[in-house]
């Protein structure tokens, strides 16, 4: 089959699944609606693989599905798909991880009354995400961007009866809107400047622009604001930890593996544009570096198993952003891929733990679960080692590459990132040991009922664990292999500007990594296998208290933005609106209503009056003609 | 011309079927007849065209107008079965008359000679006068019929006067007659013909009949009036302006702008306070006609499609609205706002399709109505009539008030819930129209390419 045909197989089944589950969901049995939901991502994955194996994509394909509308711009805005290697890689991640998480969800959500609603949202999310990575113009990309935002909002607040969860959903929505404002302004400016919203057309017209052109800097900064919102960078990252209120598969799919990497994808997609703005690249790198260290340090002291993973996600997104900032786009995408594997794995394994403990999420009440959940324990260990950067697991190669790229650009950024990866190893091993080793600290009733999850949950975990082990080999550094698959794969899609680092540096980095990892493993083993409940509570004092309270960022935001805005809002509502706007708005309203009532008698039902008015109207036109012409 | 012959044959056949006791055949036969006629247009059949001595033209826009009219008829015909449930014996008459009226409609949209236009208008109108009085048990139906007849005759007289003056100036009834001089008399004849057509379309200030007649007429035939008659009227206006418009360019521009503006302003204001939903929809139809008229400002051959797009969007939405009103009337015996309270809890399907249709009429995004307004106003903006565009937009926003008032009413909770449903074939037609509305709103170019 041709790519033109296969692309339909990727796009539409998820939308169809959403419609079926959304409209008839309540009438379907749980197994049918779960099956229907899984069809979409599986078909998508098969079609993506077929494209990969049968279609030589030496140059990007632009497949127009239909003309959408053509107003205002010189070229019509098409509903069209842009198919190149970057899109293909993202499609692999989305449909592959998506399939696994759909299968997992069937087991995880089986007792939930909103089963079909959950799958409807999940399919809609996949559709929007696919739209986002395949859209050939920024309007379509933005449609997907907003679609995933909407689904994220719906799924965070999935258990909408809990007001806390609704609050978290609202927070995510608002924070994303701030970013989206920047993004859409950026699109408008691009459309004005290049008279087109097609990504290819925009990239073609770069030739005449000089580096650091002020308009380009403005546009890229605005786009990056959008990235900050979606990919949870400082200062817009606080929504992501709260987003963990949603069901765990959602956290794994949307808030770790796919949606939050949309921002990274956007920058990589527009890499030619960003290469023209070194200033913006610097901003991106430093934002990424600071995000990485701040989030990693907060994660050190969190006790909620999902919160730790959430902050870890923010921190890893910081790594990706800093790779973008040093124009190592393919490295960032490589990390997106490996991160999708091991972070989805960690979230799903955490979900398996939560499932086994009947909803318990606090590590204070865990410990010693190794004996109860053998498979979960093993895959969690693999995930932990992968994210901590233990060779030769997936995270090691991608993170190593980011560190090397940043080092070649800016040594200070490298040092900060290195510290962040020490923190990463620490909080992950702390999480691992206090969950699976030592003595159980919760109540005995839960312990007696603690159980390993069913196979439908374990199967995706095993697949992801396997991918976390081998995923890194797709991008081995030069000193091991001359073949960097990911870089070679993406070389037509993104334009990297990286400097090489010396082999000596690489080797030193590896050696230090191994030694530090070993030391941290030893220290955390000592500390967290014998830890007690009281120890956890004692931790929250002094500097640790600062971390435990997330640098009081939520409180600071509340004091700086929310409170003044609320006060301003209530002033507007009570005084400005009631006595100002309302009064003014009511005047035309009342005029129109009055006019409506006054004119009503004209329609009297009296035929002779109707005839006279027709004649009068006709006469008026005739007179107009006589006097004017 | 084959299609007119087919329609005549089937309409007569349906009338004869009325003699038989078995009424099951009537609906299939009439739908087949209309579908066959539509097929003639689809396949661009030219058999027997020479019989009419070039007084009619079935190419280009006329063809599309005819297809639209026949498609609307296909949607309405099945609903005539509703009369059977009421025990009315005249089902065959109604179906037959509706098909006869289509002949008039087709003649109106494809005339090249004013004689054919006049014949077409009369064929369409006389059928409509009778259908307006279809419900003989209700005095209001008879009143509507009589009112429509008297005012319609008055308008026909105006039109005929215009045609007579045209003949006096050119010694021909043909649209493409040679104009010897652009005299005052000729312009007066144009104005009279325009007024006659504006009456059929119901444009301000020739609109007074519409609310009264719409309200009294049985709702299924109100749907016919609001769609088939309006599309035919616009088709006739299109033929008239596209061939005579060149002789009166500038003041025609003013005339159209003024009438469009007056229709949008007056009808939207009047619609605000209506208690009867049918009256409200009548005014809404007048306002929509004003919008469509804006499309005539920039009337070159390549710019016909916004008008037709708007007509299709309007016809689909108002069909759904009127047919939904019909079912509500069946339950609560009136069409007041209060009858729609809590409709969502009694019949969720009907409430949802009607909401979609109302949103489309109001020009809400993701519906055909939005795209239609966008295209038409874009057209007006191109000829530089920004003031008209701004006024139209203000009143389009105002119109949202009365559309959403009704939607709000349907979704507000009412205590007495008695669920009821409509039969599947009817529901299928309504759902298809709504889905079409949404598809045309998301992917307008699909429909635009079809029209082109």
Q: Which residue, among A77, A147, A605, A614, would best test binding to B if mutated, counting the most B CBs under 10 Å from its CB?
A: A614
Tell me what pLDDT residue B224 has: 94
The residue ranges of DSSP E strands in A346-421, in sequence order, are: none
pLDDT band at A539 (very low <50, low <70, confident <90, very high): low
Q: Which residue, among B272, B274, B378, would best test binding to A if mutated, counting the most A CBs under 10 Å from its CB?
A: B272
- Per residue in A13-28, pLDDT tens? 899 989 888 888 778 8
Mean pLDDT across chain B:
89
Q: Which residues from A are below 8 Å from B158, CB to CB?
A: 614, 618
* pLDDT at position A73 over 60: no
* pLDDT at position A454 over 90: no
Give percent of chain A above pLDDT 70.
Answer: 95
| CB-based contact A617 B205, cutoff 8 Å | yes
* pLDDT at position B416 over 80: no
- Per residue in A378-408, pLDDT tens? 999 999 999 988 878 888 888 888 888 888 8
| Cα–Cα distance for residue pair A350/A359, rounded to 1 Å | 11
pLDDT band at B99 (very low <50, low <70, confident <90, very high): very high
pLDDT band at B245 (very low <50, low <70, confident <90, very high): low
| CB-based contact B188 A617, cutoff 8 Å | no
Tell me what pLDDT residue B287 has: 95
More confident residue, A481 or B279: B279
Among A280, A286, A264, smallest CA distance to A334 is for: A264
| Cα–Cα distance for residue pair B10/B38, rounded to 1 Å | 13
Give residue ranges of A with CB < 8 Å to any B CB.
66-71, 79, 592-593, 595-597, 599-600, 603, 605, 607, 610-611, 613-614, 616-618, 620-622, 624-625, 628-629
pLDDT band at B442 (very low <50, low <70, confident <90, very high): confident
B258 touches chain A (CB under 8 A): yes
Of A66, A610, A618, the CB nearest to B446: A66
* pLDDT at position A294 over 80: yes
Tell me what pLDDT residue A375 has: 87
| CB-based contact B195 A614, cutoff 8 Å | yes
Q: Which residues from A are below 8 Å from B192, CB to CB?
A: 618
Q: Which residues from A are below 8 Å from B273, CB to CB?
A: 593, 596-597, 600
Q: What is the ipTM of this complex?
A: 0.82
More confident residue, A250 or A529: A250
- List all residues of chain B from 411 to 450 with a beta carbon under 8 Å from chain A: 443-446, 449
Distance from CA of B6 to the nearest CA of A (A): 37
* pLDDT at position B301 over 70: no
- Per residue in B173-217, pLDDT tens? 888 887 777 788 888 888 999 999 999 999 988 998 999 999 999
What mean pLDDT do residues A327-351 have? Answer: 90
The residue ranges of DSSP E strands in B8-114, in sequence order, are: none
Torsion sign across C-alpha atoms A450, A456, A460, A462: positive
Counting Cβ atoms within 10 Å, is residue B19 exposed (0-12), middle (13-18) or buried (19+)? exposed
Give percent of chain B above pLDDT 90.
Answer: 52
Of A603, A628, A629, the CB nearest to B208: A603
Distance from CA of B26 to the nearest CA of A (A): 35
Tell me what pLDDT residue A540 has: 67
| CB-based contact A603 B212, cutoff 8 Å | yes
| CB-based contact B158 A618, cutoff 8 Å | yes
What mean pLDDT do residues B325-352 have? Answer: 89
* pLDDT at position B61 over 80: yes
What mean pLDDT do residues A28-48 have? Answer: 88
| Cα–Cα distance for residue pair B372/B306, rounded to 1 Å | 7
Q: Which residue, among A603, A616, A623, would best test binding to B if mutated, counting the most B CBs under 10 Å from its CB?
A: A603
What mean pLDDT do residues A592-615 have? Answer: 81
- Per residue in B390-415, pLDDT tens? 889 888 888 988 998 899 888 888 77
- Per residue in B374-390, pLDDT tens? 889 888 888 878 889 88
Name the CA radius of gyration of chain B, rounded: 21
More confident residue, B116 or A475: B116
First to last CA, chain B: 22
Counting Cβ atoms within 10 Å, is residue A601 exposed (0-12), middle (13-18) or buried (19+)? exposed
Counting Cβ atoms within 10 Å, is residue A103 exposed (0-12), middle (13-18) or buried (19+)? buried
What mean pLDDT do residues B315-323 have? Answer: 95
* pLDDT at position A572 over 60: yes
Q: Which residues from B are below 8 Å from A71, CB to CB?
A: 374, 378
| Cα–Cα distance for residue pair A261/A255, rounded to 1 Å | 9
* pLDDT at position B322 over 90: yes
- Per residue in A584-600, pLDDT tens? 777 877 887 788 777 77
Tell me what pLDDT residue A564 has: 75
Tell me what pLDDT residue B155 has: 93
Q: Could you tell me the CA-to-CA distances from A23 to A19, A161, A303, A622 in Å, in that order? A: 6, 22, 40, 57
More confident residue, B213 or A608: B213
Of B251, B258, B269, the CB nearest to A595: B269
Q: Could you tell me the CA-to-CA distances from B385 to A171, A599, A620, B254 in Å, in that order? A: 45, 28, 22, 10
B31 touches chain A (CB under 8 A): no
| Cα–Cα distance for residue pair A443/A365, rounded to 1 Å | 8
Range with the poorest average pLDDT among A32-36, B13-17, B245-249, B346-350: B245-249
Tell me what pLDDT residue B125 has: 95
Tell me what pLDDT residue B304 has: 85
* pLDDT at position A34 over 60: yes
Of B151, B199, B270, the CB nearest to A607: B151
| CB-based contact A617 B371, cutoff 8 Å | no
Q: Which residue, among B202, B205, B267, would best test binding to A if mutated, counting the most A CBs under 10 Å from its CB?
A: B205
Tell me what pLDDT residue B68 has: 95
B366 touches chain A (CB under 8 A): no
By C-alpha distance, the chain B residue nearest A79 is: B443
What mean pLDDT do residues A93-114 have? Answer: 88
* pLDDT at position A157 over 60: yes
| Cα–Cα distance for residue pair A183/A177, rounded to 1 Å | 9
Q: For the whole model, what pTM was predicted?
A: 0.72
Tell me what pLDDT residue B325 has: 94
Tell me what pLDDT residue B116 has: 93
Where does residue B341 fall: left (phi above 0), alpha (psi -120 to 50 degrees), or beta otherwise? beta
What mean pLDDT do residues B336-358 have? Answer: 90
Tell me what pLDDT residue A498 has: 73
């Amino acid at each position: 089959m041709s790519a033109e045909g296969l692309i339909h197989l990727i796009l539409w089944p998820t939308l169809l699944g959403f419609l079926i589950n959304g409209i008839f969901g309540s009438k379907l049995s749980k197994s049918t609606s779960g099956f229907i939901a899984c069809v979409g991502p599986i078909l998508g994955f098969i079609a993506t693989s077929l494209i990969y194996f049968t279609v030589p994509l030496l140059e990007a394909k632009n497949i127009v599905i239909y003309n959408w509308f053509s107003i205002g711009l010189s070229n019509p805005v098409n509903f069209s798909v842009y198919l190149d290697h970057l899109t293909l890689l993202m499609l692999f991640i989305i449909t592959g991880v998506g399939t696994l998480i759909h299968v997992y969800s069937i087991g995880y959500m089986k007792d939930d009354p909103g089963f079909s609603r959950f799958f409807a949202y999940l399919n809609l999310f996949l559709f929007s995400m696919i739209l986002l990575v395949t859209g050939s113009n920024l309007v379509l990309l933005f449609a997907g961007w907003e679609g995933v935002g909407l689904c994220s909002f719906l799924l965070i607040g999935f258990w909408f009866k809990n007001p806390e969860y609704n609050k978290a959903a609202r927070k995510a929505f608002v924070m994303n809107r701030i970013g989206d404002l920047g993004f859409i302004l950026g699109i408008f400016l691009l459309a004005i400047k290049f008279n087109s919203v097609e990504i290819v057309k925009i990239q073609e017209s770069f030739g005449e622009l000089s580096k650091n052109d002020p308009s380009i800097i403005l546009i890229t900064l605005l786009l990056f604001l959008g990235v900050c919102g979606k990919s949870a960078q400082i200062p817009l990252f606080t929504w992501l930890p709260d987003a963990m209120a949603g069901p765990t598969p959602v956290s794994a799919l949307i808030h770790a593996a796919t949606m939050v990497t949309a921002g990274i994808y956007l920058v990589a997609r527009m890499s030619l544009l960003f290469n023209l703005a070194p200033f913006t690249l610097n901003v991106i790198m430093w934002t990424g570096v600071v995000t990485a260290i701040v989030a990693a340090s907060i994660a050190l002291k969190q006790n909620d198993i999902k919160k730790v993973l959430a902050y870890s996600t923010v921190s890893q997104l910081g790594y990706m952003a800093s790779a973008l900032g040093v124009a190592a786009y393919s490295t960032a995408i490589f990390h997106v891929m490996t991160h999708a594997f091991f972070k989805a794995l960690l979230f799903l394994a955490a979900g398996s733990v939560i499932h086994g403990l009947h909803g318990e999420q606090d590590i204070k009440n865990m410990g010693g679960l190794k004996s109860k959940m053998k498979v979960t324990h093993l895959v969690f260990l693999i995930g932990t080692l992968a994210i901590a950067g233990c060779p030769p697991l997936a995270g090691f190669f991608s993170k190593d590459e980011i560190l090397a790229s940043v080092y070649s650009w800016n040594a200070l950024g490298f040092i900060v990132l290195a510290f962040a990866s020490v923190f990463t190893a620490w909080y992950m091993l702390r999480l691992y040991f206090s969950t699976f080793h030592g003595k159980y600290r919760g109540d005995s009733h839960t312990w007696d009922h603690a159980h390993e999850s069913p196979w439908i949950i374990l199967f995706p975990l095993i697949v992801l664990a396997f991918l976390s082990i081998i995923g890194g080999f797709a991008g081995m550094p030069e000193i091991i292999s001359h073949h960097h698959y990911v870089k070679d794969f993406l070389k037509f899609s993104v334009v990297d500007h990286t400097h090489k680092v010396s082999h000596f540096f690489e080797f030193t980095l590896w050696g230090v990594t191994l030694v530090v990892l070993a030391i941290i493993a030893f220290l955390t083993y000592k500390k967290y296998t014998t830890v007690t409940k009281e120890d956890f509570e004692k931790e929250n004092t002094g500097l640790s208290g600062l971390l435990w309270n997330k640098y009081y960022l939520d409180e600071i935001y509340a004091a700086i933005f929310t409170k003044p805005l609320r006060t301003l809002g209530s002033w507007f509502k009570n005084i400005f609106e009631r006595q100002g706007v309302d009064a003014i708005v009511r005047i035309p309203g009342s005029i129109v209503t009055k006019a409506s009532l006054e004119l009503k008698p004209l329609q009297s039902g009296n035929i002779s009056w109707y005839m006279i008015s027709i004649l009068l109207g006709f006469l008026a036109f005739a007179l107009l003609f006589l006097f004017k012409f | 011309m084959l299609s007119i012959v087919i329609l005549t044959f089937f309409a007569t056949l349906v009338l004869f079927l009325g003699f038989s006791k078995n009424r099951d055949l009537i609906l299939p036969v009439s739908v087949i007849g209309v579908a066959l006629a539509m097929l003639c247009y689809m396949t661009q059949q030219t058999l027997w065209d020479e019989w009419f001595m070039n007084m009619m033209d079935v190419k280009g826009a006329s063809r599309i107008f005819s297809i639209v009219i026949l498609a609307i008829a296909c949607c309405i015909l099945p609903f005539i079965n509703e009369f059977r449930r009421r025990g009315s014996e005249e089902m065959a008459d109604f179906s037959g008359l509706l098909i006869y009226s289509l002949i008039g409609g087709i003649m109106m949209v494809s005339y090249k000679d004013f004689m054919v236009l006049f014949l077409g208008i009369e064929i369409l109108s006389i059928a409509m006068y009778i259908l307006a009085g279809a419900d003989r048990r209700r005095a209001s139906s008879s009143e509507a019929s009589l009112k429509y007849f008297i005012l319609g005759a008055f308008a026909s007289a105006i039109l005929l006067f215009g045609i007579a003056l045209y003949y006096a100036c050119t010694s021909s009834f043909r649209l493409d007659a040679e104009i010897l001089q652009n005299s005052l008399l000729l312009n007066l004849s144009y104005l009279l013909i325009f007024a006659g057509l504006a009456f059929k379309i119901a444009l301000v200030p020739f609109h007074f009949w519409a609310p009264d007649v719409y309200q009294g007429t049985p709702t299924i035939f109100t749907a016919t009036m609001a769609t088939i008659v309006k599309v035919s009227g616009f088709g006739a206006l299109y033929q008239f302006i596209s061939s005579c418009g060149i002789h009166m360019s500038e003041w025609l521009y003013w005339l159209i702008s003024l009438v469009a503006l007056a229709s949008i302003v007056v009808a939207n204001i009047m619609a605000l306070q209506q208690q009867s939903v049918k009256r409200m929809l009548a005014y809404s139809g007048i306002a929509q006609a004003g919008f469509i008229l804006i499309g005539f400002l920039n009337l070159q051959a390549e710019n016909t499609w916004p008008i037709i797009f708007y007509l299709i969007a309007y016809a689909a939405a108002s069909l759904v609205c009127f047919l939904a009103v019909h079912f509500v009337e069946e339950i609560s015996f009136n069409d007041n706002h209060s009858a729609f309270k809590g409709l969502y809890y009694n019949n969720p399907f009907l409430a949802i399709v009607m909401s979609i249709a109302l949103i489309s009429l109001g020009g809400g995004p993701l519906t055909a109505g939005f795209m239609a307004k966008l295209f038409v106003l874009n057209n007006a903006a191109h000829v530089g009539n920004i003031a008209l565009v701004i006024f139209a937009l203000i009143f389009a926003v105002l119109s949202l008030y009365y559309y959403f008032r009704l939607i709000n009413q349907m979704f507000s909770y009412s205590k007495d819930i008695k669920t009821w449903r409509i039969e599947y074939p009817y529901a299928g037609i309504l759902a298809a129209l709504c889905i079409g509305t949404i598809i045309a709103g998301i992917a307008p170019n699909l429909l635009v390419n079809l029209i082109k």
